[in-house]
Amino acid sequence: MKAITLHASPTPHRFLPAGPLRGRIRVPGDKSISHRSIMLGALAVGETRVTGLLEGEDVLATAAAMRAMGASVERQDDGTWSIHGTGVGTLLQPAGALDMGNSGTSTRLLMGLVASHPITATFTGDASLSRRPMGRVIEPLSQMGADISPSPGGTLPLMIRGLSPAVPITYRLPVASAQVKSAVLLAGLNTAGITTVIEPVPTRDHSERMLRGFGADLTVEEHGGERHIHLRGEASLRPQTITVPGDPSSAAFFAVAALLVPGSDLVIENVGLNPTRAALFTVLRQMGGSITELNPREVGGEPVADLHARHSPLTGVEVDPALAPAMIDEFPVLFVAASLAHGMTVTTGLEELRVKESDRLSTMAAALTAAGARITEQPDGLTIHGTGGDPLPGTPHAVATKLDHRIAMSMAVAGLVSQGGVEVDDTGPIATSFPTFRALLDSATGQA
Ligand code: S3P
């Protein structure tokens, strides 16, 4: 079963220092919400319509998988996505392996869906995804009755045979992971009785919000500081009209770039600011960054605002590890901001970063060090001594991004604030989450 997706040859690029970021931009739709809108739309009876869907490779992998399991998922000419589902419990056995590309979210959430349907599916992925731990979802889904055969080490490729009826469980998350929480809840949709997930530390709650929006019977209680999420199974979901807000994790690169590049004054419109996602902006403000929220409103059941970011001198901080889950994907770009701040930034409690698309502590430490930043790597975080606002020297050779889109985009931001530019070994993976990144960066910096 050791088939691994092969990728096109790498596309290196040197990101050069560039002028201020100015004007108004919009980033593509939220990746987490896009995945979930396709999955739940495919389980509702009737037509779900989604606008603002992120058309990145990860989300397209979810769309292809749901099609392979019987749903119709199509893009209309006006950019709206139309999804026709046939109901919870009706997923069909896919004819071939489900290729998840680079996407951990697709893999773990879809494993949850398959776990409680009477079907068998094989999941494969690229070299990055094939290194990532799946034991964290194999454990609870096996308790629910799924029969899962992973590759040695608990990784992809793996085969999962679902059980219907599955067994409802109460599962206390051993790691703070929205993917594990969501996998169990999605498995619970086609499971008679109440499935409960206990979250000692809150993680992004898009699944809970959207399940409720689709009419699932889901309740959340707080006990002793922990969240107990109960879902009543054998749900019947009602199709929805969904507007996906802009992805705060994509906005993060532009917000940091605007704070760092002198003369910048940028508005990023329509950014999702769910409190379980938005802690980067809190930390940047603690560092002295000028980031204000304009026109706060609600879009698709999620808080949204326009973010106004202006060039600001930054000061290093100790980042509260309790904030980590609410900015888990934003540490690579925070490390870039810290590299240009006055004084020292200390981050701790970040062991989870080692099992993302790459080991984001060692990959960022190596890439930023190559660009001239002063970094010390600890087992659970980085300590960074900033330049005090002076540009980084830049890289003589390409830095390794290890098939990790967020490393590539973070180092692109580092290139903007360098003397000689930063060469990234492969910009291809950026298309997994932000296909328009380079064009938007060129337009915001006045190069387009
Ligand atoms: C995600 C959850 C997070 C995050 C990932 C998207 C989701 O992963 O890093 O990019 O959509 O549920 P973990 O659950 O592994 O923390």
- pLDDT at position 1: 41
Q: Is the CB of 134 under 6 A from ligand 1?
A: no
**Tokens encoding 288:** 């002295």
Ligand 1 atom closest to residue 249's alpha carbon, by position in its atom list: 10
Q: CA–CA separation, 11 vs 122, rounded Å?
A: 30
What is the value of pTM for the model shown?
0.98
Model confidence at 326: pLDDT above 80: yes
Nearest CA residue ID for atom 10, ligand 1: 329
> What is the mean predicted confidence (pLDDT) over 47-65?
98
Would you say the CATH fold of 31-242 matches that of 2-29+245-444? yes
Q: CA–CA separation, 337 vs 414, rounded Å?
A: 8
Which is it for strands 13-15 and 422-424: parallel, antiparallel or unpaired?
antiparallel
Model confidence at 380: pLDDT above 80: yes
In CATH, which of 3.40.190.80, 1.10.260.30, 3.40.50.1100, 3.65.10.10 is domain 2-29+245-444? 3.65.10.10
- pLDDT at position 8: 72
> What is the mean predicted confidence (pLDDT) over 85-112?
98
- pLDDT at position 3: 45
Model confidence at 123: pLDDT above 80: yes
Q: Name the band, by pLDDT with cuts 50, 70 and 90, for residue 448.
A: confident
Q: How far is the CA of 389 from the centre of ligand 1 (A)?
A: 32
Domains of the chain, residue spans: 2-29+245-444, 31-242
> What is the mean predicted confidence (pLDDT) over 280-307?
97
Q: Is the CB of 199 under 6 A from ligand 1?
A: no
Model confidence at 128: pLDDT above 60: yes
Residues 6 or more apart in contact with residue 161 via CB below 8 angstroms: 119, 120, 146, 147, 148
Neighbour tally for 367: CB within 10 Å:
28
- pLDDT at position 430: 98
CA-closest candidate to residue 185, choices 204, 163, 170:
170
Q: What angle, 0 to 180 degrees and rounded to 10, lies between the N-to-C axes of helices 104-115 and 31-41?
A: 30
Q: Is the CB of 329 under 6 A from ligand 1?
A: yes
- pLDDT at position 2: 41
What amino acid positions are annotated as catalytic residues? Answer: 329
Which 8-state DSSP code applies to residue 246? B
- Interval 383-432: pLDDT, tens: 999 999 999 999 999 999 999 999 999 999 999 999 999 999 999 999 99
Superfamily (CATH H level) for 31-242: Enolpyruvate transferase domain (3.65.10.10)
Q: Is the CB of 37 under 6 A from ligand 1?
A: no
CA-closest candidate to residue 214, choices 301, 141, 112, 144:
301
Ligand 1 atom closest to residue 35's alpha carbon, by position in its atom list: 11
